[in-house]
Copies of this chain bind each other. A is one copy, B any other.
Amino acid sequence: MKLASLKQGRDGRLVVVSSDLAWYADAGHIVPTLQAALDDWDRVEGDLRNLATDLDHEVIPRERFHERDAAAPLPRAYQWADGSAYVNHVALVRQARGAEMPETFWHDPLMYQGGSDGFLGPRDPIPLADESWGCDLEAEVVVVTGDVPLGASREDALAAVRLVGLTNDVSLRNLIPGELAKGFGFFQSKPASAFSPVFVTPDALGDWWRDGKLHRKLMVDLNGAPFGRAEAGEDMTFDFGTLIAHAAKTRALGAGTIIGSGTVSNRDADGGPGKPIAQGGVGYSCLAEVRTVETIRDGKASTPFLKAGDTVRIWAEDDKHHPIFGTIEQTVEG
């Protein structure tokens, strides 16, 4: 089952989207918003699944689904907690600035609390008031949970995964060092994130969803050219079950909590940092990583951060090269 929220009011209008993303059926007679559905999942899930089946069988009225009309599936949420599960990425960034990475980072997940009061839709521009802030994309996998009790095990946590999707976790890189030096984590350096047009139930992903990971390539294009083709199922040190259980160690998580993987990142086949796609590598899921590789290699970064007019595309494909979650496609607006 694929779910989306068409732009309407603060929380959107819930629709069920066909497997091929071409059509939608209004779900308002079952439940008005995705948050309301997650709040009452056991009661509404069956009806929503029946609607999705009827839609795919073309036995109910349907409308064309246009990704540009979609808000983030949760246009606002009660929690957005982003991990940093591809520890390879963290190790690289540290290496570039000459900082040692504690060995514990391989066992104890990094996670920050993100702002969740307003997200960008998949086609919304990225507002950037000041290019000197160093605007970066971060292509990630996310899951949405139901209620997760305090102290949940990894297995219980995985069972609470309701939906899977993608995000562009926009970051203002030049504001990060100052904020992290203050010790309280990210705030101004993390403006609104964008999400994929649809979120998908794990069962609809079949074998692509296993071991708490999405086993598909995360496709990233920058200004129309291939930039990232990393395999999201590889080099993910902490699976989503582990990330959710980490978040729930000292408090319960409310239904509709979004948990992020952190920037997807693969080692190169030779064990070193990933190479650009033009050099036969799988590329990158954020600018910071290619800048890091450049810094290690050349002594300084040459790839610039995003500026007004730059475009970012993020998606994942099925075996016929059709987007699974739709496509995030954003232009930076100064």
Q: Which residues in A have some Cβ–Cβ distance to B below 8 Å?
A: 10, 39, 76-79, 81, 84, 102, 105, 108, 110-118, 127, 129, 133, 150-151, 172, 175, 180-189, 191-192, 246-247, 249-257
Contact = CB atoms under 8 A, between A and B. Distances in A.
A235 to B, nearest CB: 20
A35 to B, nearest CB: 10
B115 A251 contact: yes
A97 to B, nearest CB: 12
A79 B115 contact: yes
How many copies the complex holds: the figure is: 2
A237 to B, nearest CB: 14
Contacts of A172: 250
Contact of A249 (B102, B112, B188, B257): B188
Given A78-B78, A186-B184, A256 B117 contact: yes
Closest 5 CB pairs of A and B: A185-B185, A117-B254, A78-B117, A79-B117, A191-B251
13 contacts: A78-B78, A78-B116, A78-B117, A110-B182, A111-B187, A113-B113, A113-B115, A113-B187, A118-B251, A188-B246, A191-B250, A192-B251, A192-B252
Nearest to A130: B250
B113 A186 contact: yes
Most buried by B among A114, A116, A182: A182
Contacts of A246: 188
Given A79-B116, A113-B114, A188-B247, 12 more contacts: A78-B78, A79-B115, A81-B187, A112-B113, A113-B113, A113-B115, A113-B186, A118-B252, A118-B254, A183-B185, A185-B186, A191-B250
Most buried by B among A77, A246, A250, A256: A250
| Main DSSP-derived SS at the A contact region | loop
Contact of A10 (B39, B112, B151, B249): B39
A122 to B, nearest CB: 18
Contact of A110 (B84, B110, B184): B184
A323 to B, nearest CB: 27
Contacts of A257: 117
Given A79-B115, A113-B112, A129-B150, A184 B84 contact: yes
Contacts of A191: 250-251
Contacts of A127: 150
A184 B112 contact: yes
A304 B225 CA distance: 59
Contact of A185 (B113, B175, B256): B113
A235 B186 CA distance: 26
A141 to B, nearest CB: 18
Nearest to A256: B117
Contacts of A10: 39, 254-255
B150 A111 contact: no
A115 B249 CA distance: 13
Nearest to A112: B184
A140 to B, nearest CB: 15
A187 B254 contact: no
Contacts of A253: 117-118
